Amino acid sequence: MCGIVGAIAGRNVVPILIEGLKRLEYRGYDSAGIAVLNGGLQRLRSTGRVVELEKIAGSLSATVGIAHTRWATHGVPSERNAHPHVSGGVSVVHNGIIENHDSMREELRGKGYKFASDTDTEVIAHLVHDHLRQGGPLFEAVRSATVELQGAYAIAVIDESDAGRIVVARHGAPLLLGLGVDENFAASDASALIQVTPRIIYLEDGDCAELSQSSLKIMDAFGNLVERRVHISQLSAASVELGQYKTFMQKEIFEQPMAVANTLEVVTSATALIPELFGARAGVIFKETNAVLILACGTSYHAGMVARYWLESLAGLPCNVEIASEYRYRESVSNPRCLVVTISQSGETADTLAALNFAKARGQENSLAICNVPESALIRSSDLRFLTRAGPEIGVASTKAFTTQLASLVLLAMVLAKVRGRLGKQWESEMLNSLRHLPAALTRVLGTEPQIVRWAECLAPHRHALFLGRGVHWPIAMEGALKLKEISYIHAEAYAAGELKHGPLALVDQDMPVFAIAPNDELLEKLKSNLQEVSARGGRLFVLADQDARLSEGSGTDVIRMPDHAGMLSPILHTIPLQMLAYHAAILRGNDVDKPRNLAKSVTVE
Ligand code: F6R
């Protein structure tokens, strides 16, 4: 979603701001802009890519500035709606949504302010301006303005009458500060500052901060001046650059063996599992857990759907998996002994955060976050945490985050099973052994790419596709369909294969490619009958099968043999071919796989 960069230095900050915006491009955006103070306020905006903005910025030079990539929520993507927004000499960039913007707009109009855009952000610019003209410094004006704002925001503000500072504030949307040597920065994401500093301060909700070239002041929501911990960001430039790959999605698909190995590193040399892998209080919390509620969105929700099978069969715990945006508005029955598990790549997804708060407000206090970003809001809001160590995921379509989430969730199911006396020593060591072999098995599955490319060539001309799976592989079929929709724009539906004859079979004909996940498990024979139903209607079948699945190729049926049968870990392996299928279909259709239309990475608004 939207991205913010701000910089104040003794040198020209324009290249720093532009580079920061480029590093935020992966979040998805439809316009970009920059405002600097160099004698007066200068603003440039563009509906093109950041490189277009860079071109028009030409020889612009200044030591103070703010910049933004916008993902439209209020008002169509256009130059007039692009940030920064201005009011007199005040300029503002904003991530989030101001919910009371309508009433504030009316109030500000009453005071004589004219609006030049359709955005909620413009009210912030006028509001800060209004407070400034009542006297006092920019810092106070921003603080007073934020008191009147309802909704979520991260903002950065500059004022031409005071070129020595940038004021920032956050509530419900991420914002961090970067500390340089005699220069300071702000950004919505640490990757935007990778080229200038690894020293990062994550602002807390309600914080307002003032940055000058050589000083920093942070005030919390209660008006106290506070010091916040400085973190050294572990992000390396290589981790957010393409290297030998053509796209980030391709890079991230191929990074999965390493990402899963990194995530499982905590257990690779272990002989036994301990609850403390999930945090200091996990032993106590897991003992009292009698049910699990998983909250997540999109791909992370699919990881939760897979985990339900593991948690119920291994740990014997009833598990409910809910789409976060639905759960938060639903009258559900709460259970104080339920462990609330949130799953999120970014840890900043607004719906997941809100669902967690909602679950807690209903007396479900025990929470565990499975997340890829160590300092994210989700991690900070949870009692227990497990970090997926996938590294930065830049492609909008989630790939390595998903498989590392699955690896983490297997561990969770195993630990909970052990705490509940359901995991014998022998089984524990066999499972640990399989986890150790998982990265190598993933590498072997990546080797099926040439066969997958041929499937993608058959799929790419079609407008629709069906994905089938049974049991724990049904959510993998859902993830395959989601990946395909997102990046190839081919309409895809996933069904539990047994559901086919209850409706979707009506769609099947020679124009409907059907992809099936058919490992040699206890449901294989049932699945084969479902596949017969497809063949009998002339549907073209593409089947991912194990070596010994006794499924043969024939007219209208293509089979790719999976190199390994991974037992319980099979869903993790079957994810990879479906990711590659979506990837190659999208490439064949000429799409930008890293930045699919209309989508954003890290959905920080409702
Ligand atoms: C799909 C995708 C999204 C995210 C969803 C949740 O490829 O990336 O569906 O999974 O927006 O995001 P996180 O995991 O950051 O909470």
In tens, the pLDDT along 516-575 reads: 999 988 888 888 888 888 888 888 999 999 887 777 788 789 999 999 888 999 999 999
Same domain, 490 and 543: yes
Ligand 1 mutation pick, 188, 300, 351, max ligand atoms within 8 A of CB: 300
Instruction: Read off the tokens for 129.
Output: 């301006």
Q: How far is the CA of 602 from the centre of ligand 1 (A)?
A: 7
Q: How confident is the model at residue 74 (pLDDT cuts 50, 70, 90)?
A: confident
Same domain, 399 and 496: no
CATH of the domain at 207: 3.60.20.10
Q: How confident is the model at residue 29 (pLDDT cuts 50, 70, 90)?
A: confident
Instruction: Read off the tokens for 182.
Output: 């005699």
Same domain, 437 and 453: no
Q: Whose CA is nearest to atom 4 of ligand 1?
A: 298
pLDDT for 236: 80
Q: 247, 582, 256, 583: which is closest to 394 by C-alpha?
A: 247
Q: How confident is the model at residue 222 (pLDDT cuts 50, 70, 90)?
A: very high
Same domain, 80 and 149: yes
Q: Whose CA is nearest to atom 10 of ligand 1?
A: 299
Question: Considering 388, 419, 446, which residue would you say is the last residue of a domain?
Answer: 446
Q: How far is the CA of 405 from the centre of ligand 1 (A)?
A: 12
The yes-or-no verdict on residue 115 having pLDDT over 90 is yes
pLDDT for 172: 81
Rounded Cα distance, 17 and 557, in Å: 53
pLDDT for 346: 94
Rounded Cα distance, 129 and 200, in Å: 29
The yes-or-no verdict on residue 342 having pLDDT over 90 is yes
Same domain, 134 and 277: no
Under DSSP, is residue 255 helix (H, G, I), strand (E, B) or coil?
coil
Q: How confident is the model at residue 202 (pLDDT cuts 50, 70, 90)?
A: very high
Listed in sequence order, the residues at least 6 apart from 508 whose beta carbon sits closer than 8 Å to its beta carbon are 466, 500, 514, 533, 534, 537, 538, 539
pLDDT for 27: 78
Among this protein's residues, is 595 annotated catalytic? no
Q: How confident is the model at residue 240 (pLDDT cuts 50, 70, 90)?
A: confident
% of the chain exceeding 70 in pLDDT: 100
The yes-or-no verdict on residue 340 having pLDDT over 80 is yes
Tell me the sheet residues that pair with 210: 167, 217
pLDDT for 316: 98
Same domain, 112 and 217: yes
Q: 94, 85, 167: which is closest to 126 by C-alpha?
A: 85
Instruction: Read off the tokens for 25.
Output: 């491009």
pLDDT for 271: 81
Q: How far is the CA of 346 from the centre of ligand 1 (A)?
A: 8
Buried/exposed 122-154: b ≥16 CB within 10 Å, e otherwise: bbbbbbbbbbbeeeeebbbbbbbbbebbebbbb
Same domain, 360 and 459: no
Q: How far is the CA of 344 from the centre of ligand 1 (A)?
A: 7
Rounded Cα distance, 14 and 4, in Å: 14
The yes-or-no verdict on residue 269 having pLDDT over 90 is no
Ligand 1 mutation pick, 349, 402, 479, max ligand atoms within 8 A of CB: 349
Same domain, 275 and 358: yes
Q: How far is the CA of 299 from the centre of ligand 1 (A)?
A: 5
Under DSSP, is residue 126 helix (H, G, I), strand (E, B) or coil?
helix
**Can you list the alpha helix ranges (DSSP code H) found in 271-336?**
282-288, 298-310, 324-327
Beta strand 291-296 with 231-232 is: unpaired
**Region 55-68 average pLDDT:** 95
Is 300 touching ligand 1 by the criterion CB < 6 Å? yes
In a domain, 110, yes or no: yes
Number of domains in the chain: 3
Neighbours of 262 (CB within 10 A): 20
Rounded Cα distance, 370 and 347, in Å: 9
Question: Considering 446, 481, 512, which residue would you say is the last residue of a domain?
Answer: 446
Q: How confident is the model at residue 68 (pLDDT cuts 50, 70, 90)?
A: very high
Is 397 touching ligand 1 by the criterion CB < 6 Å? yes
The yes-or-no verdict on residue 455 having pLDDT over 90 is yes
Same domain, 382 and 284: yes
pLDDT for 193: 95
Which of the pair, 172 or 407, is modelled with greater confidence?
407
The yes-or-no verdict on residue 1 having pLDDT over 80 is no
Query: Which class for 485: exposed (0-12), middle (13-18), buried (19 or more C-beta within 10 A)?
Result: middle
Which of the pair, 448 or 603, is modelled with greater confidence?
448
> Of 22, 251, 400, 601, which residue is the catalytic one?
601
Q: How confident is the model at residue 452 (pLDDT cuts 50, 70, 90)?
A: very high
Question: Considering 420, 446, 472, which residue would you say is the last residue of a domain?
Answer: 446
Residue range of the domain that includes 532: 449-588
Q: By mean pLDDT, which of 250-254, 304-308, 370-374 is the weakest?
A: 370-374
Q: How confident is the model at residue 17 (pLDDT cuts 50, 70, 90)?
A: very high
pLDDT for 234: 81
Tens digits of residue pLDDT in 293-324: 999 999 999 999 999 999 999 999 999 999 99
Q: Provide the phi-psi class of 151: left if phi over 0, else alpha when psi is between -120 and 50, else beta.
A: left
pLDDT for 70: 92
Same domain, 150 and 178: yes
Task: Kindly tell me the sign of the dihedral angle through the C-alpha atoms of 242, 245, 247, 252.
Answer: negative
Ligand 1 mutation pick, 346, 478, 583, max ligand atoms within 8 A of CB: 346
Same domain, 441 and 453: no
Same domain, 545 and 499: yes
Task: Determine contact, residues 358/327, Cβ cutoff 8 Å.
Answer: yes
Q: How confident is the model at residue 174 (pLDDT cuts 50, 70, 90)?
A: confident
Tens digits of residue pLDDT in 136-155: 999 999 999 999 999 889 99
pLDDT for 556: 86
